[in-house]
Amino acid sequence: MKQKIFFKTFGCRTNIYDSQVMMSAIEKYDIIENESEADVVVINSCTVTNGADTHVRSYISHIEKIADAKVFLTGCGAHTKGERLLEQGRVSGVFGQSEKLRIDEMLSKDEPFYELGDLNYIDEAVVDDFVGKSRAFIKIQEGCDFRCSYCIIPYVRGDARSMDEIKILEQITRLARNGFGEFILTGTNVGSYGQKTDTSIASLMKKISQIRGVRRIRLGSVEPIQITDEFKEILREPWLEKHLHIALQHTSPQMLKFMNRRNVYKQDKELFELLASEGFAIGTDFITGHPGESTKLWNEAIKNMKELPLTHLHAFSYSKRDGTPSCTMKPEVNGKLAKERLHELENIVKVKNFEFRKAFSGSLDILVESQKDDLYIGYDQHFNKILIKSNEDLLGNWVNIQNYEAKEESNYGSI
């Protein structure tokens, strides 16, 4: 009788992809949905903030309480917290992302082990399915060559490198054949795809769009400097989502210097205005409360933020990360104040998102992903959520809605 295994995934879309690869590769275990019945639990961890580490530790405590299971750690936390957790006997083994295709062999080891493998490996895996998902995350790139002063990721994901283009296209061809129509290209610094292999993300997306069954391509977070002239040529392509997530991290020129960011606010503003004029919804990342964020620099940042045509925001208040240049920087910003600034930002973008949805008069092209009570939930081409009333089963379907109501919290439609 096969042992039962449960996969717990923390963090980003790249981790979601890596977990899918492990779930597809495993043969000696039965994958279950209920962690309390598991004989083995694999934690695909995140370590982007000290808080992320705390979540992983408290999850291990949770498993220790509810299940009689062996726990194994992989993901980015394996590189920062793995050794300590192994020494404490809280996990039975630690393995790096490069070892995930050897998962059966890893989990059947009798002795505790610590095998981080190769930080700069190139992923060769190809999956046929995305369990429980109606859209597919495709890892096309891994690692990062930027050195933002608050970020630990380059040290746990390695240098920027691109997956083999043939493998990526094969991957998408297989998933499209299995009914997937929407593909989210993901990576650690996805916009750097192709930089060392003499190609580019725009060229790859054009090739992907030629694959039978590909209906919409979405992109993970890119850097402003990666929206090149070549990329601008595909902005009007029908297969490209009408939303882009472009990481600014701050809108005060001085703060961008403190954070060792490569983007320049003046150019960011010009780029966002160009994209908005092309009808794009635009999201960004922002960190409030990074050391050095004085009231003067904050007021400047807010003034700039208000003038940007934003619709989506992925923001955090700064969280010290041991081992990064920022963790020793001064003056520090009070945590409560950093949270207040975060909420101020969120409110600004919430209003902008509602304005954008009210102003849009075209039809919405929606992939229905889930259902809650009697409403179906999907995302449109602008990556805005819509709740749909219908007597038909819409799960996994593409629907086009012209008449819908834009309310503050979401759009509402019926079919």
Binding site for ligand SF4 (CB under 6 A): 144, 146-148, 151, 153-154, 188-189
Q: How far is the CB of 285 from ligand SF4 (least distance, A)?
A: 8
Secondary element (H or E) of residue 219: strand 216-219
The smaller minimum CB distance to ligand SF4, of residues 213 and 325, is found at 325
The smaller minimum CB distance to ligand SF4, of residues 175 and 313, is found at 313
- Residue 170: both structure tokens together: 């094969």
Q: How far is the CB of 33 from ligand SF4 (least distance, A)?
A: 31
User: What is the distance between the alpha carbons of residues 360 and 8, in angstroms, rounded to a whole number?
Assistant: 39
Q: Of the candidates 80, 34, 86, 79, which has an alpha carbon nearest to the alpha carbon of residue 60?
A: 86
Q: How far is the CB of 316 from ligand SF4 (least distance, A)?
A: 11
Q: How far is the CB of 349 from ligand SF4 (least distance, A)?
A: 19
* Structure letter (DSSP) for residue 140: -
The smaller minimum CB distance to ligand SF4, of residues 86 and 345, is found at 345
Q: How far is the CB of 58 from ligand SF4 (least distance, A)?
A: 24
* Structure letter (DSSP) for residue 283: E
Alpha helices (runs of H) in 251-368, residue ranges in sequence order? 253-258, 265-277, 295-307, 335-359
Alpha helices (runs of H) in 237-264, residue ranges in sequence order? 253-258
User: What is the distance between the alpha carbons of residues 64 and 91, in angstroms, rounded to a whole number?
Assistant: 10
The smaller minimum CB distance to ligand SF4, of residues 99 and 142, is found at 142
The smaller minimum CB distance to ligand SF4, of residues 28 and 147, is found at 147
* Distances from the Cα of 404 to the Cα of 113, 186, 332, 378, 395, angstroms: 55, 31, 46, 13, 19
* Distances from the Cα of 36 to the Cα of 33, 136, 205, angstroms: 9, 28, 42
Q: Which residues contact 336 (CB under 8 A, 6 or more apart)?
A: none
User: What is the distance between the alpha carbons of residues 247 and 259, in angstroms, rounded to a whole number?
Assistant: 13
Q: How far is the CB of 122 from ligand SF4 (least distance, A)?
A: 18
Q: How far is the CB of 150 from ligand SF4 (least distance, A)?
A: 7
The smaller minimum CB distance to ligand SF4, of residues 139 and 216, is found at 139
The smaller minimum CB distance to ligand SF4, of residues 20 and 189, is found at 189
